[in-house]
Amino acid sequence: MIAVASALWTLVLATGFILGFEPQGAVSSSRAAAASACALHVSPVVVLPTDCLGVRRYSIPGEFQLEANSTRAGTLHIYLKALKWPMEDGTYRLRMKGFVGFEATAKPPKPGYTFKNVPEVSSQLRLYLRSAGGWQQEVAVELSDALCEWQPNKELFQACLADAKRKSRTSYSLGDLSIDLGDTQALDIELLVQGWPRYVSLSAQLQAALGAPPADADGGGVRTLHRTLPYHASLPVPRLARILEWSEQYHTSLGFAGTYMYALPKDVAELEAHPGIRSLVARRQLTIILWDEFATYKNWRDYDLQIVESHAVLSLWGRNARALVVDLDEFFVPGTAGDTLPRMLAPGGCMALGADCLSFSKKIMFTHTEGAKGGQPADEPSLWASSDPQARHPLVHYRYQQVPRDRGGPKNLVNPSTSMPMDIHWTSTCTGTSAISDGMAGDKAVSACASRTPCVHVPRECAMLGHIMNMLSTRRTSKNASLVQPTKWLWMLKE
């Protein structure tokens, strides 16, 4: 059991537990009601398996057939969210969105790699909806491909997608599920894999969605802007809390409503007890999602990072929000001093590009560069580890930037309705329309992600991400670094 240390905290299971409240910003009455409902259903002693943000994980064990009469056994994890989606004519459709990943029982050949789907997910997996009313219909699992998503233009992107459908890959990213159940009131629906003996019922989740307030659809209203951060398995909580305080101070000034951050169960008690964390939660600048972690291998670091990131984006679907999927050591940097993210996205702004996914390049930030005046570079990890409440914001020491030698691993600001799953640095936008799954649309319901377009790259002159690569440990020395542009990029700190 987990003791709740303060009435300011809520703990709700959503493939993890939610610690905190809706981040501050323009919030619809339906979303506010949903947040209140979460708080009301929490036991003060025992954490209940309640889904606040609506994401459920279903797991179906099974096996794929391999050559030489062998099999690949494992578990298919299916993450789904269900919403009552408002239509222009005043009616509603019951929609589900999510992603799938097959976790093989056998140890992977490279334990250090992050999660990938095995090739049989593409060649053999056939997922079906089945109704007690008698119909059964296959639903498409559309696999994204990071090899395509880093192509430099739309033409090469589309050519890569076509090639990926013709040729089998050695591995795949997470698969997208986009399901439209129409205006159905029949909720006795099951999800199954062809040839596997076990299945799961979606009835409880669909019933909850049908009885809940409708989704806050993307209709030109106020968009709330959030950051999402993965969990940190080894960072001490006091140090994490201090960095979060500095990070929120910076990003709130740029128009972000708050941050969704994941945490592991081992850190819950210390997170609850830390006054800095409690303050961020009380100010609605931070929501902590306690991650329902997987069984893992020793040194299998970050293997579920794509799943965490995709879960975060899926959680924000139906909330008229945008999510910037980043790491703790990455900071959003406008190209013009004094600019904010909402203004840049508004008509006439440099990011008003008509895209549901915006991709940002990164530059590594340094306190010093070779040949510069002013003595030796600062000990960067020490700056960020300071516990002195009077210490200056560490970013004020950063005056230099360097373009990474490689592609720099872009990060993305995404619309959860169209751009997912995530693959750490890559994703793309689904541009189609899902066919209604009611047993009447043929053998296989077409997915919205059957057609895709790449993310739109934002020029560095408009905005970029500053990567404090040496925040936690010294990993890179500066050579040939130039002054940060704009030079007054820290206008919000007033130092």
Q: How many CB atoms lie within 10 A of CB 433?
A: 13
Euclidean distance between CA atoms 96 and 81, whole angstroms:
5
For residue 466, give the nearest of 398, 380, 383, 415 by alpha carbon.
398
CA 61 to chain centre: 25
Q: What single-letter amino acid sits at 336?
A: T
278 phi, psi to nearest 5 deg: -60, -35
Query: What one-character-per-residue DSSP string does 407-448 give?
Result: ----EEEE-TTTS---BTTB-EEE-S-PPB-SS-S-SEEPPG
Looking at residue 358, what is its pLDDT? 94
For residue 81, give the nearest of 315, 293, 323 by alpha carbon.
315
For residue 228, give the nearest of 254, 257, 252, 262 by alpha carbon.
262
Query: What one-character-per-residue DSSP string does 476-495 give?
Result: ---SS-EE-SSTTTTGGGT-
Under the phi-then-psi rule, with left for phi > 0, alpha for psi from -120 to 50, and beta for the rest, what region is 353?
alpha
SS3 68: coil
Instruction: Dig out the tokens for 349 from the structure.
Output: 């702004």
pLDDT digit string (tens) for the chain, length 495 residues: 333 333 333 333 333 444 443 333 333 333 333 333 333 333 222 222 334 578 899 999 999 999 888 999 999 999 999 999 999 888 999 999 999 999 999 876 665 567 888 899 999 999 999 998 788 999 999 987 777 877 878 888 888 888 877 888 888 889 999 999 999 888 999 999 999 999 999 999 999 999 999 998 766 555 789 999 999 888 999 999 999 999 999 999 999 999 998 888 888 888 888 899 888 888 889 888 888 777 777 766 678 899 999 999 998 999 889 999 999 999 999 999 999 999 999 999 999 988 899 999 999 999 887 666 656 678 899 999 998 888 999 999 998 888 876 555 889 999 999 998 998 888 999 998 888 887 665 678 888 888 889 999 999 899 999 999 999 998 887 777 888 888 888 988 875
- What pTM, to 2 d.p., does this model score? 0.89
Euclidean distance between CA atoms 316 and 38, whole angstroms:
15
Q: Is the dihedral of CA 167, 170, 173, 179 positive or negative?
A: positive
Find all residues with CB under 8 Å of 196, minimum gap 6, and list them. 60, 61, 62, 63
Q: Find residue 263's DSSP bridge partners.
A: 290
Euclidean distance between CA atoms 238 and 233, whole angstroms:
14
CA 329-475-376 angle, 5° bins: 100
CA 457-458-462 angle, 5° bins: 165
Looking at residue 111, what is its pLDDT? 55
Judge contact between 478 and 400, C-beta under 8 A.
yes
SS3 311: helix
Place of tokens 């990943």: 101
For residue 141, give the nearest of 420, 447, 421 by alpha carbon.
447
Instruction: Dig out the tokens for 214 from the structure.
Output: 């409708």
For residue 334, give the nearest of 274, 413, 275, 397 by alpha carbon.
413
For residues 1-17, b (16+ Cβ closer than 10 Å) or e, as one string? eeebeeebbbbbbbbbb
For residue 15, give the nearest of 73, 57, 52, 43 by alpha carbon.
57
For residue 172, give the nearest of 98, 102, 103, 117 by alpha carbon.
117
Q: What single-letter amino acid sits at 399?
A: R
* Helix or strand holding residue 177 (H, E): strand 175-180
